Amino acid sequence: MTEQTEARTADGSPAGDLGRRLAARRVELGLSQGQTAARACMATPYLQYLEEHAGSAPSRGVLLKLAAVLETSVSALTGGDVDLPPGTGQAGRAPEFTELSRTECGDLLSTHGVGRLALSTDRGPVIVPVNYSVVDGTIVFRTARGSTPALAAGSRVAFEVDRIDDVFSQGWSVLVRGHAHLVTELGERLRIADQAHSTPWAGGRRDLWMRIEPSSVTGRRIAV
């Protein structure tokens, strides 16, 4: 049997996820394939090939051009930083720290994704990540019976969301404080399920809907 070798980019990183990361970052910036290719001085069919073929292994020069156009790093495009915590880079020059308005915080929260739920337990304070959505100005997420997030029912909690841009040493965070409760009414559970965007990454049966009613929402941003 012939041994198969995993395709790698010019910097030695596995190339399998490169196309997915390229496409995701391009869409995030609102760029078409044609716009991205033009800015990177390459043919659109070549960019399409990189996005659609898991075995593609472009040169470092190509990766550097794409990283510059997509305002990210080669490491981020190739998945080399996937196991690293955010914020490992150096602070930017002349950073500007600002407080976010309630409207700005709401806009950032409504993008949904993964947030951090802080609650008190018998063993002390705990912080756990959850996939969340915003419905009617409240934080909603699904969890399982007996899980740590389910312990938040009937308690005051904190919920934090942030985004870190290591390339430009900037980012933002939003902190929500409020009361968490279990959504028990069937019609309300169905309505939330219909409007929610996120599905728990952890999988399994997670049929409990939790809601956090915000009592205060604050945020901050660091820009260069």
Give pLDDT tens digits for 67-87.
Answer: 999 988 887 888 776 565 665
Please give the tally of structural domains in the chain: 2
Domain that holds residue 48: 18-78
- Does the structure show a pLDDT above 80 at 38? yes
Domain boundary among 78, 108, 123: 78
Which pLDDT band, with edges at 50, 70 and 90, does 94 fall under? confident
User: Residues with Cβ < 8 Å from 39, sequence gap 6 or more?
Assistant: 31, 69
Domain boundary among 45, 78, 111: 78
Phi, psi values for residue 125, rounded to 5°? -65, 145
Residue 148 inside a domain? The answer is yes
Task: Tell me, yes or no, whether 71 and 106 share the same domain.
Answer: no
Task: Tell me, yes or no, whether 126 and 50 share the same domain.
Answer: no
User: Residues with Cβ < 8 Å from 146, sequence gap 6 or more?
Assistant: none
What b/e readout covers 206-216, taking b as 16+ CB neighbours within 10 angstroms?
A: bebbbbbebee
- Does the structure show a pLDDT above 90 at 171? no
Q: Which two tokens stand for residue 179?
A: 């009361």
Per-residue pLDDT at 40: 94
Which pLDDT band, with edges at 50, 70 and 90, does 15 fall under? very low
pTM of the model: 0.64
- Of the candidates 177, 164, 126, the one whose C-alpha atom is nearest the C-alpha of residue 148 is 126
Task: Tell me, yes or no, whether 200 and 134 share the same domain.
Answer: yes
